[in-house]
């Protein structure tokens, strides 16, 4: 298959650059692949969606190489790679080498054959119903619709109406091919799939058939390929454990005194990270919030979640009250991370951005109504799980104070200097000046994330 277009004729769009590199590489490598859905805008855009590709089992390793090579050529980096049996997901972003400061991001989902809970659903040697679209191999709409219904039914127990029409047409026109391709599922499961697609039933009735389809498929595999069934189940569960032990997601923290530009920086980097993660970027204010706000213990049902206009307006608690607050907040960081945040970044390469973090308790204890020795506060904050990267925003104290006028200039100056001292002694910390243009600060932050991913790739 011929390459899509000559590099010299490429438009300057960062997204086009990456997508063209990717499909040129897949085509030239002779990889048996097909785009599963949402191909209409390719290769000029992914249409704001993730890129769903299916490849044959023997091409898994070469596909990873092709994607990694394309990411590198497009000036990008792999933000995260999540793997399970028969599937891997890559989140990537970068800066187009031909157009500086033009960032792109893309989520690529790769089905290696078709599996559910480690069990094969589709013959790997039969040819797929495909067609050529702008020199890109694409599944025919009908077969893509059938697979869309099948995946939704098994994984979520629901019937996706968006695939209904194409799936019905495929069943009516080419049932023999579909039945042959999905033969590993067993006749009973395949008949259930056909019923889900063709039956004009209620939502509840379809959900019941979906559950039956799942049971019939797993029962068929267990009965006919018992050894393979148990190996698949064990391998699938082990992949979840490995992801939890070594999560592919990232935790990023933005620190800075009020007015330093935390929200502005987050709003500047989030669109790029959203493209890379298919909107799986999570912004968390201050703490994980696995434990409820302390105000709830006083009987308050409504707790303010917006900007704090007077951070030093409340008097600090006494010694016991301050100690209780410090222990409570520390517990929320520890438990909230392992139960809430860790689960998110282990499931997929999610990026969690903290607007403030535990370190703020030591940098500005009055905000938390804590009055304790700084050494004691720092000891507790060291117990909080460490983010992957800590961005410390700083600038001219007078300019920062003028932006919000919530703290006196002396306090702003103290916090700026304290933050610089913290950054000097914290290996994960990176100082970012917000005195220049926002684009400059954004590029520094994104480049630092890219550098971190490059250094830690494969660890």
pLDDT in tens, 115-172: 999 999 999 888 999 999 999 999 999 999 999 999 999 998 888 888 989 999 999 9
Question: Is-contact 90 110, C-beta < 8 A?
Answer: yes
pTM for the whole structure = 0.89
Q: What is the mean pLDDT of residues 39-68?
A: 93
Find how far residue 450's CA is from the centre of its chain.
Answer: 15
Beta strands per DSSP E along 28-120: 33-35, 51-55, 76-84, 87-95, 103-112, 115-116, 119-120
CATH 3.40.50.300, the chain: domain bounds: 250-456
DSSP SS3 for 285: strand
Residue 228, classed as helix, strand or coil, is: helix
Burial class (CB in 10 A: 0-12, 13-18, 19+), 455: exposed
Per-residue confidence (pLDDT) for residue 10, from 0 to 100: 35
Structure-derived torsion over alpha carbons of residues 58, 62, 63, 69, reported in degrees to the nearest 10: 180
Contacting residues for 68 by C-beta, under 8 A, at least 6 apart: 78
pLDDT given for residue 11 in this prediction = 37
pLDDT-above-90 percentage for the chain: 70
**Burial environment of residue 343 by CB neighbours within 10 A (0 to 12, 13 to 18, 19 or more):** middle
Query: Per the structure block, which two tokens stand in for 84?
Result: 């399970």
Which of the four pLDDT bands, split at 50, 70 and 90, describes residue 302?
Answer: low
Tell me the CATH class for 250-456. alpha beta
Which residues does residue 252 pair with via DSSP β-bridges, in sequence order?
353, 389
Whether pLDDT at 211 is above 80: yes
pLDDT at 55 over 50: yes
CA distance 385 to 88: 27
> Of 221, 250, 224, which Cα lies nearest the Cα of 236?
221
Q: What is the spatial distance between Cα 134 and Cα 39, in angstroms, rounded to a whole number?
A: 10
Per-chain mean pLDDT for the chain: 89
- Please determine, for residue 456, whether its predicted confidence score (pLDDT) is greater than 90: no
Q: What pLDDT is stored for residue 305 in this prediction? A: 53
- The structure tokens 């390459």 sit at 3
Residue 94, helix vs strand vs coil: strand
In this structure, are residues 411 and 312 in contact, taking their beta carbons and an 8 Å threshold? yes
Tell me what percent of the chain is helix, strand and coil, each rounded to the nearest 5. Answer: 50, 15, 30
> d(Cα 62, Cα 58) in Å, to the nearest integer?
8
Higher-confidence residue: 347 or 306?
Answer: 347
Lowest-pLDDT choice from 245-249, 391-395, 406-410, 429-433:
406-410
Is the backbone peptide bond immediately before 389 cis, with ω within 30 degrees of 0?
Answer: no
Other beta carbons less than 10 A from residue 149's beta carbon: 26
Residue 242: per-residue pLDDT: 93
Tokens found for residue 407: 């703290």
Q: Sign of torsion, CA 285 289 294 296?
A: positive
Q: How confident is the model at residue 299 (pLDDT cuts 50, 70, 90)?
A: low
Segment 238-261, tens digit of pLDDT: 999 999 999 999 999 999 998 899
Mean pLDDT lowest among 57-71, 123-137, 203-217, 357-371:
203-217
Which pLDDT tens digit goes with each residue over 338-395?
Answer: 999 999 999 999 999 999 999 999 999 998 999 999 999 999 999 999 999 999 999 9
pLDDT at 214 over 50: yes
């Amino acid at each position: 298959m011929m390459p899509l277009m000559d590099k010299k004729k490429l438009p300057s769009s960062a997204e086009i650059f990456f997508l063209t590199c990717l499909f040129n590489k897949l085509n030239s490598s002779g990889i048996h692949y097909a785009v599963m859905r949402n191909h209409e805008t390719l290769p000029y855009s992914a249409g704001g969606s993730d890129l769903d590709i299916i490849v044959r089992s023997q091409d898994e390793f070469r596909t990873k190489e092709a994607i990694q090579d394309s990411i590198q050529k497009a000036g990008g980096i792999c933000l995260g790679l999540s793997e399970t049996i028969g599937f891997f997901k890559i989140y990537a972003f970068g800066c187009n080498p031909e157009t500086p400061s033009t960032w792109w991001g893309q989520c690529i989902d790769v089905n290696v054959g078709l599996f559910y809970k480690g069990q094969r659903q589709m013959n790997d040697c039969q040819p797929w119903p495909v067609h050529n679209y702008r020199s890109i191999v694409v599944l025919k709409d009908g077969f893509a619709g059938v697979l869309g219904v099948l995946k939704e039914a098994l994984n979520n127990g629901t019937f996706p109406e968006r695939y209904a029409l194409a799936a019905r047409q495929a069943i009516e026109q080419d049932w023999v091919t579909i039945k042959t391709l999905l033969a590993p599922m067993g006749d009973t499961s395949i008949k259930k799939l056909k019923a889900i697609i063709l039956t004009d039933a209620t939502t509840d009735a379809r959900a019941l058939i979906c559950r039956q389809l799942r049971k019939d498929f797993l029962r068929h595999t267990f009965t006919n390929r018992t050894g393979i069934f148990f190996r698949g189940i064990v391998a699938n569960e082990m992949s979840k454990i490995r992801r939890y032990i070594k999560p592919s997601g990232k935790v990023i923290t933005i620190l800075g005194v009020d007015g330093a530009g935390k929200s502005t920086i987050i709003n500047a980097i989030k669109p790029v990270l959203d493209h890379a993660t298919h909107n799986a970027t999570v912004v968390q204010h201050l703490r994980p919030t696995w434990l409820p706000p302390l105000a709830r213990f006083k009987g308050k049902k409504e707790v303010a979640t917006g900007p704090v206009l007077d951070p030093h307006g409340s008097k600090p608690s006494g010694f016991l009250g301050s100690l209780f607050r410090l222990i409570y907040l520390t517990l929320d960081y520890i438990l909230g991370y392992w139960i809430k945040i860790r689960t998110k970044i282990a499931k997929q390469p999610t990026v969690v951005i903290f607007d403030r973090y535990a370190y703020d308790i030591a940098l500005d204890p009055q905000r938390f109504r804590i009055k304790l020795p700084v050494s004691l506060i720092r000891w507790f904050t060291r117990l909080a799980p460490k983010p992957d990267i800590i961005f410390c925003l700083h600038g001219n104290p007078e300019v920062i104070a003028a932006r919000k006028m919530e703290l006196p200039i002396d306090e702003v100056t103290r916090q700026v200097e304290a933050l610089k001292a913290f950054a000097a002694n914290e290996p994960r910390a990176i100082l970012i000046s917000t005195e220049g243009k926002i684009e400059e600060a954004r590029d520094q932050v994104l480049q630092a994330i890219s550098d971190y991913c490059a250094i830690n790739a494969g660890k």
